[in-house]
Amino acid sequence: MDESRFGEIMDCVVTLFQRNLTEEHREHLHHRYGLTDETISRYRIGYAPLDRHQMVLALFEHGFSVDEMGAAGLVTRTPDTTLPLWQGRIMFPYLVGSVPRYLIGRQTDETADRSPGKYKKQRTVDFGEPIFGIDSLIAGGPVVVTEGITDAIITQQAGFACLSPVTTRFKSEHVEKVVEACRSSSRVYLIMDNEQNGAGLRGAISTGMEMVRHGIYPYLCTIPRPDDVEKRDLNDYVRAGGDIGELMASAIYVEDHPLAQTMRLDAVRKEAQRARSDAARQRIVSRMPSRPLGDGGEGELLYAMKDMIIASIPPLSALTGVDGHGPHPIYGSTTGSNLSVTGNQWYCWHAGSQGGGGPLEWIAVYELRLIREGEPLRGAAFMAALKHAADAYLPDWRERAKRGK
């Protein structure tokens, strides 16, 4: 599908969603998000019908094939049927040059598409996810960077240019574009959610520090939050009568925030620890052959008994303290579920440390620091991890090897 055809199908489906937006939906947008009728029309906000056939049939009638719907990321296809990606959701388009280029659907009480999250994004492959609000920037003016899509829309409704990652931080592939877009701004303000768990603040500081590394020096604003309120976002603040200008007036340079200084020290400590781990890894690996030597020595004996050694390692649930999903025992977790353990396989979602494997990989990564998450365990590192497991969990392995057991 070329870009022109993609634009046509996106305009068609957004128009359909707009027509399905009822007065009841408009009232919900007024009261829940503080959006005016003018804003609803300007941003082409709509509603994905509950009827599982309506969107697909409407696109058929406008000359679009099932293959085109799939290429545009608007449907889910099985051998037997084609279903719309969204059913019963408030739909927010990302407009670029007033043209819809991407869609995200907000869950409602009527949602029937069986996706667990509050938001469901379009499955684009060829065109990707643009940056929400990129068209709102004005050269020489200030720009707000905020977290959610309704936070960004109400900020623009209030008269401010605003970008949003529609999450706590921008994707890595968007950072360069965001930096370039912000270079012509007079000042960048980061206004993320204020939460008891501090996730929004950490996301804001991470985004800000990344901008600093690229020569942009943003300011951090803090949304006031009562102690008995778990979370307050920018949309909540504005709807309650808050003034974005007042937040800007009290902003501080992101690197001056105490948490930024703590995060910077943590990064230095982690880098030093990684350097020490690398050195230790090299010392351990240098003592082990990269493969069995074939001379009846220790390496050959270990390799011959590898299946028995690996079977002697305790279950991953015992090594990790997690059975199913839970917090990583080394990294911790703000969400409580950045480690998955299923049977003899684990996977870590910690930012910058994604990867997984079996019990021997866990030992190699976290006990011996021989490899990092996502790196293959082989050669001398494999032999070193195998010997460590043998000594720890099968201490009589040498005698067993001599007996041929």
Q: Is 275 found in the same domain as 247?
A: no
| Residue 129 within any structural domain of the chain | no
Instruction: Write down the pLDDT at residue 147.
Output: 87
Q: Each residue of 382-395: pLDDT tens digit?
A: 988 999 999 989 98
| Residue 299 within any structural domain of the chain | yes
pLDDT at 218 over 70: yes
Backbone φ and ψ for 101, nearest 5 degrees, come out as -120, -5
Domain finish residue from 58, 88, 116 = 116
| Residue 245 within any structural domain of the chain | yes
Domain finish residue from 256, 279, 303 = 256
| Residue 147 within any structural domain of the chain | yes
Q: 151 versus 275: which is more confidently predicted?
A: 151
Q: Each residue of 285-330: pLDDT tens digit?
A: 555 555 554 445 778 888 888 899 999 998 888 888 888 888 888 8
Q: Kindly list the distances between the CA atom of residue 34 and the CA atoms of 236, 271, 401, in Å, as whole numbers in the listed order.
A: 9, 45, 73
**What is residue 306's three-state secondary structure?**
helix
Q: 262 versus 265: which is more confidently predicted?
A: 262
Instruction: Write down the pLDDT at residue 335.
Output: 65
Instruction: Write down the pLDDT at residue 280.
Output: 60
| Residue 125 within any structural domain of the chain | no
Q: How far apart are CA 12 and CA 83, in angstroms?
A: 17
Q: Could you tell me the pTM of the whole model?
A: 0.67
Residue 101 lies in domain: 3-116
Q: Is 300 found in the same domain as 234?
A: no
Q: Is the dihedral of CA 300, 302, 305, 307 positive or negative?
A: negative
Q: How far apart are CA 289 and CA 217, in angstroms?
A: 50
Q: Each residue of 21-40: pLDDT tens digit?
A: 999 999 999 999 999 999 99
| Residue 314 within any structural domain of the chain | yes
Q: Is 398 found in the same domain as 285?
A: yes
Q: Is 302 found in the same domain as 245?
A: no
Give which of 144, 175, 155, 336 is closest to 242, Cα–Cα. Answer: 155
Please give the average per-residue pLDDT across 63-90, as a whole number.
91
Q: Is 280 found in the same domain as 367?
A: yes
Backbone φ and ψ for 392, nearest 5 degrees, come out as -80, -40
Q: Where residue 352 falls among pLDDT bands split at 50, 70, 90?
A: low
Q: Is 224 found in the same domain as 281?
A: no
CATH number assigned to the domain comprising residue 214: 3.40.1360.10
Based on the structure, what is the number of domains in the chain?
A: 3
CATH number assigned to the domain comprising residue 62: 3.90.980.10
pLDDT at 157 over 80: yes
Domain finish residue from 200, 225, 256 = 256
Q: Is 321 found in the same domain as 243?
A: no
On whether the CB atoms of residues 142 and 187 are closer than 8 A, the answer is yes
| Residue 263 within any structural domain of the chain | no
Q: Is 19 found in the same domain as 57?
A: yes
